[in-house]
Amino acid sequence: MTAPLLEVVDLTCEFRERGRTVHALNGVNLTVGAGETVGLVGESGCGKSTLARSIVRLLMPTSGRLLFDGQDYTRWGERRLRRLRKDVQIVFQDPMTALNPSWTVRQLILEPLALHRVGEPERRLSQVLDEVELSASILGRRPGQLSGGQRQRVAIARAIAARPRFVVLDEPTASVDMSIRASLLRLLRKLQREEGLTYLFISHDLATVRHICDRLLVMYLGKVVEEGRTESIFDRPTHVYTRVLLSAIPIPDPAARRQRLPILGEPPSPTMIPTGCPFRPRCQMTTEECERPQPFYEVGPGHRAACRLARMEPLSKVGTPA
């Protein structure tokens, strides 16, 4: 197997907020190979946004390592990071706030080309516009004058203009209308092929993730609780949290019946992480064993879960329509 493009090793990220320590990430491991689309799913407080920002070094992790193309950039200063930023880019969730409201589309897309000294910027500008399926007539407009879908495409154009190799996508379809979501995902896939990109796709929406990700990581309270090939995870969700998550998704089909798995208590706060399995306080199947740190168990080829239920056979299918 070729060396991975991005490696995250035992990443921990803590910061203080209002006098308390927030444990946003607690020993996360992750590898992404070139050309892959890896998905990160989880709900609020799971750390996926912190992980995204750590990977693009908008913040510095407390401990652990980040490697891109084999190089450890965890502690690099701003000057060396400048070079990394040509290769590693990020698209934020809400383009309305992520794009400078007083800049024009033209300025927004030309800036990365100037910063990374890309040759023939005008040519690349029109090429990129073409690729994200936007017309040149919007170049003079500002983000506030565009539709939601157009804005997000400008954000994508800005991110890929300087030809990065790795793009972190933080909920890219969340702020976009439903009828446009599918075509935006299709665009992302097309760009991946045409520009040779590798994606880390972060989302809370499992339906979206199923359509674009090769592999998934399910996160809870700063830890990865399950990971594997997308189809395998949907077919055989093993960790109780994964099963709960899948069972909670409403199905847009009036004839479908789903059985929602109950979840105890209220969403957790990352200021207090339980020992052992982080999901323990809300799990209906928890036992004494779960108080100890959970190892990963093999569920299938490339699919593993940090839950004792992995040892039980057979696994039932959950969260599918009747």
Q: Which of 3, 60, 182, 312 binds another protein (CB under 8 A)?
A: 182
The region, left, alpha or beta by phi > 0 then psi within -120 to 50, assigned to residue 135 is beta
56 or 306: whose CB is closer to another protein?
A: 56
2 or 137: whose CB is closer to another protein?
A: 137
Q: Which stretch binds another protein (CB under 8 A): 21-29, 107-115, 287-295, 306-314?
A: 107-115
Number of neighbouring beta carbons within 10 Å of residue 238: 28
Residue window 6-35: x/- pattern of binding to another protein, with contact defined by CB under 8 A: ------------------------------
* Token pair of 61 as six digits: 């992790």
Residues between 248 and 307 that touch another protein (CB under 8 A): 248-256, 260, 263, 265-267
Residues between 33 and 92 that touch another protein (CB under 8 A): 43-44, 53, 56, 58, 78, 82, 85-86, 89-90, 92
Residue 21: phi, psi to the nearest 5?
Answer: -90, 125
**What single DSSP character describes residue 138?**
G
Q: Which stretch binds another protein (CB under 8 A): 27-35, 205-213, 289-297, 302-310?
A: 205-213
Residues between 114 and 153 that touch another protein (CB under 8 A): 115-116, 129-130, 133-138, 144-150
Those residues with Cβ within 8 angstroms of residue 284's Cβ, 6 or more apart along the chain or in another chain: 240, 261, 262, 263, 264
Cβ at position 21, least distance to another protein in Å: 18
What CA dihedral angle connects 74, 77, 78 and 84, to 10 degrees? -40
> Is residue 243 within the footprint of another protein (CB under 8 A)?
no
Q: Which of 65, 163, 210, 229 binds another protein (CB under 8 A)?
A: 210
In the numeric block, the tokens 């990700």 are attached to 213
Query: Beta 6-17 vs 20-32: how paired, if at all?
Result: antiparallel
> Is residue 110 within the footprint of another protein (CB under 8 A)?
no
Cβ at position 135, least distance to another protein in Å: 4
Cβ at position 295, least distance to another protein in Å: 25
97 or 275: whose CB is closer to another protein?
A: 97
Residue window 222-241: x/- pattern of binding to another protein, with contact defined by CB under 8 A: ------------x-------
> Is residue 178 within the footprint of another protein (CB under 8 A)?
yes
Single-letter amino acid, residue 43: E
187 neighbors 181 (Cβ within 8 angstroms)? no
State how far the Cα of 10 lies from the Cα of 61, in Å rounded to an integer: 10
Cis amide linkage into residue 172, ω under 30° from 0: no
Q: Which of 156, 212, 219, 310 binds another protein (CB under 8 A)?
A: 212
Expressed in angstroms, the distance from the first to the final Cα of the chain is 40
The region, left, alpha or beta by phi > 0 then psi within -120 to 50, assigned to residue 133 is left
2 or 101: whose CB is closer to another protein?
A: 101
Q: Which of 77, 119, 301, 321 binds another protein (CB under 8 A)?
A: 321
Cβ at position 58, least distance to another protein in Å: 5
250 neighbors 322 (Cβ within 8 angstroms)? no
> Is residue 185 within the footprint of another protein (CB under 8 A)?
yes
Cis amide linkage into residue 281, ω under 30° from 0: no
> Is residue 316 within the footprint of another protein (CB under 8 A)?
no
Q: Which of 244, 290, 307, 310 binds another protein (CB under 8 A)?
A: 244
Cα four-point dihedral sign 124, 126, 127, 128: positive
